[in-house]
Amino acid sequence: MAGGLRSRFRTAGDVPSVPRPSPPSEAAGWGLRGTSGVPRAACTARWWGRSARCFEPAVNYTELDWRWAILLGAALRDGLLEAVAERPSSSADVAGDLGLDARAVHVVLSALAELGVLVEGDDGFLLGEEHRGPLLVAEHPEYVGQSVVHRFELMGSWSRLPEVLRTGRPIEDRTAPDFGGAATFIAAMRRGAMPGAEAVAASVLPRLPEGARILDVGGGPGTNAEAFARGGARVTVLDRPVVIDLMRSTLHAAGVETVAGDMNEGLPEGPFDAVYFGNTSHMYGPRENLALLARMRGSLAPAGLLVVREFVRGLGEDAALFAVNMLVTTARGNTYTAEEYEGWLARAGYEGVEFEPVPGRSTHLIFARKTRPTSTEEPARA
């Protein structure tokens, strides 16, 4: 990478530390641990009883072994956990109520009991009290149920990578108007953005006037918009109608305005002091991104601030691997280098580009100021 470009980067050591409490799952550990320190094998052999749980779970639900992840995701998506959330039920009753195969349901519920998510007793299976909120209650502060289902569905798409290699077409296209998984996707993105939202706001807001107007493009999950609003900004979120319909009441309750529309067709005129474009450019190809950046410039006040949050190849971990996710879930998405972003921004009418890591995350904030007329010739890279 060119030395001149790297000189505009800030390292994690340059970014002010933003305190962030660790989720309980991080504090407790990863995976499973035996009750009272008893090793797993010994626990199974010596302590297992139908009325007593053998394992105390210490689960990070979104970082489980692939087998547990598939098991838990399928059980959530098909309603098994909800069926045993309030009172014990036999596997036969659960299968009958849900119209599922009795043998399959019994095998899955038994495995979930071994994981520690369910308690198996004389009356059947019951969801552990400590798992009910995180897995089933959307209002719970540690809710990750939709994130677990989202990861489960992604694993299915990734498993079909050989098909994508042959056809060049995604298994699903999240950018398509008829994408049917919006509810699960948005809920997962909302939860996934929480760890970095306050850090992003702490980096962005000091660069803006007090009470700044911010346009959050593609910000339907609302996590960052709400963080900006808590910092005193006046925030407008633009996203597709299906997303705004899902999130309107939540965002309005947080004091965030909403606009339903297609970012590829038009944006609110503004003028806005800043446009925030978070974790969305990876869903599009170079031509679309160049056009979007130029369109955002039109919504900015003179010398307004553009903020892009992204996986940047060569700067953050997992950027190239994340591109595979875009390969199987979008028609033209990818991850891009710092040089590519600098080139697009220069041609779209920005300057003063800076790259700043988001503390504790694999993404970077890309800052640029609106300064000069646009040049939107097609980029060389297809």
DSSP-derived secondary structure letter, 266: -
Are the C-beta atoms of residues 268 and 215 closer than 8 Å to each other? yes
- The model's pTM is 0.76
Rounded to 10 degrees, the C-alpha dihedral 227/326/339/277 comes to: -20
3-class SS of residue 50: coil
Biggest alpha carbon distance in the chain? 74
* Of 333, 368, 138, nearest in space to 218 by CA: 333
Amino acid present at 136? L
Q: How far is it, in rounded angstroms, from Cα 282 to Cα 332? A: 9
Give strand pairing partners of 308: 277, 366
User: What's the CATH code, domain 196-370?
Assistant: 3.40.50.150
Q: Looking at residue 36, what is its pLDDT?
A: 28
Residue 8 has what pLDDT?
60
* pLDDT at residue number 44: 32
How do beta strands 300-310 and 350-357 pair?
unpaired
Q: Which long-range contacts (CB under 8 A, 24 or more apart) does 103-110 make?
A: 105/80, 108/71, 108/74, 108/75, 108/80, 109/75, 109/80, 109/84
pLDDT confidence of residue 187: 65
Q: What ranges do the domains of the chain cover?
A: 25-150, 196-370
pLDDT in 10s for each residue of the chain, 382 residues: 444 443 465 555 554 443 433 333 332 322 332 222 323 333 332 222 322 333 334 457 766 778 888 999 999 999 999 999 999 999 999 999 999 999 999 999 999 999 889 999 999 999 999 999 888 877 777 778 888 888 888 899 999 999 999 999 999 887 776 665 666 666 666 666 566 788 999 999 999 999 999 999 988 778 889 999 999 999 999 998 988 988 888 899 999 999 999 999 999 988 999 999 999 999 999 999 999 999 999 999 999 999 999 999 999 888 999 999 999 999 999 999 999 999 999 999 999 999 999 988 889 999 999 986 555 544 444 3
- Tell me how long the chain is: 382
Q: Return d(Cα 52, Cα 26) in angstroms, integer.
A: 25
Reduced to 3 states, what is the DSSP secondary structure of residue 231? coil
pLDDT score for 150: 84
Q: Tell me the CATH class for 25-150.
A: mainly alpha
Three-state secondary structure of 275-339: EEEECCHHHCCHHHHHHHHHHHHHHEEEEEEEEEEECEECCCCCHHHHHHHHHHHCCCCCCEEHH
pLDDT computed for residue 181 by the predictor: 64
At a CB cut-off of 8 Å and minimum separation 6, what does 374 contact? Answer: 294, 297, 347, 348, 349
Q: Which of 233, 289, 230 is nearest to 263 (CA)?
A: 289
Three-state SS letters, 90-144: CHHHHHHHHCCCHHHHHHHHHHHHHHCCEEEECCEEEECHHHHHHHHCCCCCCCC
